Every structure is written in structure tokens, then in C-alpha cells.
Copies of this chain bind each other. A is one copy, B any other.
Amino acid sequence: MNEASFLDHYDPTAYEKPSVAVDLVLMSIVNGTPAVLLVCRDAHPFQHCWALPGGFVGIGEGLDEAAHRILADKAHMGEAYVEQLYTFGAVDRDPRMRIVSVAYFALLPAASFTAALKAASDLTLAKLFVPWAGETGGMVQAHSADGKTLALAFDHDAMLGVAMLRLRGKLDYSALGFALLPELFTLRALQDVHEAILGVRLNKPAFRRRMLDRGWLEPTGERETGASFRPAELYRYRNPSEGGE
């Protein structure tokens, strides 16, 4: 049997298949606190509950492609750092039917959220409360603006936990932190981001030197304005592998 005749005989409908979905954990640091974008579900199940933006993967669409489509359509966001997180496939994770969901997380500067929140009324920006400090992660709680704990649909709280764990784990050996800041930023802002994610205070001189020695920061010569004290220098992230001077 050659390959062509094999393909003729292959029957993709022989077995019942799960549906494949993508869910996005869109994170940022807002006022020194980790935050996530949630959408209010208007349909069953979990109607009127908060959930991560997500959707089904089309038959002619790659997983990363689907993640970017949902980022644009459901979350009204443009470019962002996007990375696959983990795939959730418990049989009972959706009461309707069998759905395997590939969780992605995306990191954005806080300013990117304000436009999206104005564009769609069913979105909210929930603050994250992370009770655990070290590497081994537990659950993460999403809080609304008035401090109430939000109940999330499906297993989306587990997705938040995995996202937070990944973020903490990769923060200090990857360029992940820069995705949460605007193009130009001060070293203090970068330190604030790290402190918000790790949940600990860091030593200022040590942090400065660690970051500068890494060679990822390019001083712009420009200064921050508007403060009533000495203005900090603005830096830009530069990928160390490309663009060597």
C-alpha cells in the first residue's frame, strides 16, 4: 500500500474527537500589583462568571495563530509577548463536552490595557493576590477593584497559577520583565516590576548592577520628567543576540 492509497482509506471521523481551545492569561503589572484581563461570560456554562479570554482553534489554524487571533478579537490587543504555557485536558473540565485547552500567557505594559478596557465593556482588569512566596506554586486569587475575590470559570484559576509560576521562574534569567514595561523605562520601574512579581523587596544597588551587567539595557541619555526630585535616566531593552553595536 503506497502513501496515496493510504490517505484515501484513512477515516478521520472514525472516532469522536475532543474540541481544542486556546485560553489566554493576559498579564501586566498595574500600580505595583500583578493583574489579569478577564471577560464576563454571557453564555452558559458559568454565565455571568469571569473567565480568561479564549476560543476554539479552527481546523486550518495553528495554535499560536489562534492565540494571536483571540488576543486581537476578544481582548482587543495588538502586539504582545506571547508564550505557550500548559495544556489542560481533564475530561470534566467543561460540563458541556470534552474540551482540551491550550493555555497561553501574554505580557503587556499596563498602558495597553486601558485602551482595550474602553473598547469592550465585558472586560475587567483583576488584581492578582499571590499567597505563596517561593517556587512551589499554589493557587492564585483574582480580586476585583473593590477587593472581592472573583470566582473564575472552568479551571481558569489553575491556569492563573501556572502563569504566575512561569512568570516568577523565568523572570530573572529571561527578558520577560521588559515585556511588561513601555519601550523607555527607568531602572526603578524595572525593579518595581520585579518586586511585584516576586513579592519581595529587592536591594537597589544590587538590582541595578545585575541588570546593567547583563548587557540587555541601553541607556538613552534621556531623562524622566515631572518628578520633584532628581530625574532618572530612561533605558531601552536591547536584545543581546541581535543588534550588537
Instruction: Give chain A's interface residues, CB within 8 Å of chain B.
Output: 1-3, 6-7, 10, 12, 15-20, 43-45, 47, 56-64, 84, 86-91, 95-98, 100, 102, 135, 173
Contacts and interface: CB of A to CB of B under 8 A. Distances in A.
B12 A57 contact: no
B97 A3 contact: no
A63 B7 CA distance: 27
A43 B5 CA distance: 12
Nearest to A57: B18
A131 to B, nearest CB: 17
A141 to B, nearest CB: 23
A21 to B, nearest CB: 10
Contact of A17 (B20, B62, B84, B91): B20
Contacts of A102: 87, 89, 100
A44 B5 CA distance: 10
B45 A63 contact: no
Contacts of A135: 173
A239 to B, nearest CB: 12
A2 B59 CA distance: 30
A43 B3 CA distance: 9
Contact of A19 (B12, B63, B86, B88): B12
Q: Which of A47, A63, A135 has the most CB of B within 10 A?
A: A63
A42 B19 CA distance: 28
Nearest to A66: B89
Contacts of A15: 56, 58-59
Nearest to A7: B96
A3 B45 CA distance: 6
A223 to B, nearest CB: 34
Nearest to A3: B44
A96 B10 contact: yes
B18 A98 contact: no
Nearest to A97: B12
A102 B17 CA distance: 14
Nearest to A91: B62
